[in-house]
Structure 1
Amino acid sequence: MRNKPTINKVQLDAIDKQLIKLLYDNARTPVTELAREIGMTAPSINERLKRLEENGAITGYRVDIEPAVLGYSLMAIVRMRQLPGKWKELEALIQAIPEFVECDKVTGEDCYIAKLYLKDISDLDPILNQVAELADTNTAIVKSSPIKRRLLL
């Protein structure tokens, strides 16, 4: 996992927030459409976008993929507590298994909490068997996600 960069707190005005919300809903929205929605000129919007990127408020633009369309019908949350002296190996293993799409290093009894996508429930044990050599695990299959990723404004 990467170390967090130093973050400087940024003050966003109402226009910045509106711009971020529009891009959050559709990162491919043309600048001309953003300008029309906000009631500003395209060059002004470009300047704001550049400033938001430079100050780190906007860190990138992304595409959301629906895992089920790619054949991944199950999602699991895996809590892991590494065995003594195995954290570096465990972290490297988690990064090497492509089905792990997110992982957080946490405080408490567990050391890592990861999100894992599976095409079939039979895919779970082979992955967990690899992890079991380095950590104790506790796995939950996700039934639904009442809150997907959402904007913090």
Structure 2
Amino acid sequence: MTDEIDQLLISALMEDSRRSLKALAQLSGLSSPSVAERLRKLEERGVLKAYTVEVDPKHFGYLLEAIVRVRPLPGRLHEVERQIQAIPEFTECDKVTGEDCFIARMCVRSMEQLDGLLDRLNDYAETNTAIVKKSTVKRRLPPMG
């Protein structure tokens, strides 16, 4: 379990993973060595898995983001999974229950590129695609308490 101070540190790191130990110490009321020890323990327990940066794909020419529902054809599930993993424009993919076995997110430079990439799945699956207009909720943690 995590206590209120752990949750405060986690929330602060979710907002900015580059926060210094000194800043985290000031925020939590602990010393820098105490914060470092708490973070080490959270890492060891697998609560904190990574410290990351968020990059805007638009700066690399990826102007469109799409959500793709993928329904493999009979007997093609594993091949679909391999194809999705092999296409780097798929930035996330979840295997889900229901008729669509995969729900994926991809970044593309154009509609033409999107069509070409999805054509690679045509022999293995049916797809249904939606273009993301705006992300109203960015990836976030559920309530910790």
TM-score range, shorter chain: over 0.9
In structure 2, what residue type is equivalent to 1:110? D
Is the partner of 2:121 in helix, strand or coil?
Answer: helix
User: 5+ unaligned residues in a row in structure 1: which ranges?
Assistant: 1-10
In structure 2, what residue type is equivalent to 1:108? G
Asked if 1:37 is matched to 2:27, the reply is: yes
Match of 1:4 in 2: none
Shift in Å, 1:31:
0.7
Percent identity reads 49
Asked if 1:91 is matched to 2:81, the reply is: yes
Deviation per CA, 1:127-151, whole angstroms, max 9, x where unpaired? 1110111101111111111111112
Shift in Å, 1:30:
1.0
Match of 2:103 in 1: 113
Is the partner of 1:131 in helix, strand or coil?
Answer: coil
Cα distance in 1 for residues equivalent to 2:39 and 2:32: 10
Match of 1:133 in 2: 123
Cα distance in 1 for residues equivalent to 2:61 and 2:105: 16
Number of residues paired by the alignment? Answer: 143
Match of 2:61 in 1: 71
Is the partner of 1:132 in helix, strand or coil?
Answer: coil
Per the normalisation by structure 2, the TM-score is: 0.95
Runs of 4+ more than 6 Å apart = none
Match of 1:7 in 2: none
Asked if 1:144 is matched to 2:134, the reply is: yes
Match of 1:5 in 2: none
Match of 1:6 in 2: none
Q: 1:60 aligns with which of 50, 73, 76?
A: 50
Shift in Å, 1:19:
0.3
Deviation per CA, 1:50-81, whole angstroms, max 9, x where unpaired? 11011111111111111111111111111011
Q: 1:81 aligns with which of 47, 71, 77?
A: 71
Is the partner of 1:133 in helix, strand or coil?
Answer: coil
Output the aligned Cα RMSD.
Answer: 0.9
Per the normalisation by structure 1, the TM-score is: 0.91
Cα distance in 2 for residues equivalent to 1:119 and 1:86: 28
User: 5+ unaligned residues in a row in structure 2: which ranges?
Assistant: none
Asked if 1:46 is matched to 2:36, the reply is: yes
In structure 1, what residue type is equivalent to 2:106? L
In structure 1, what residue type is equivalent to 2:6? D
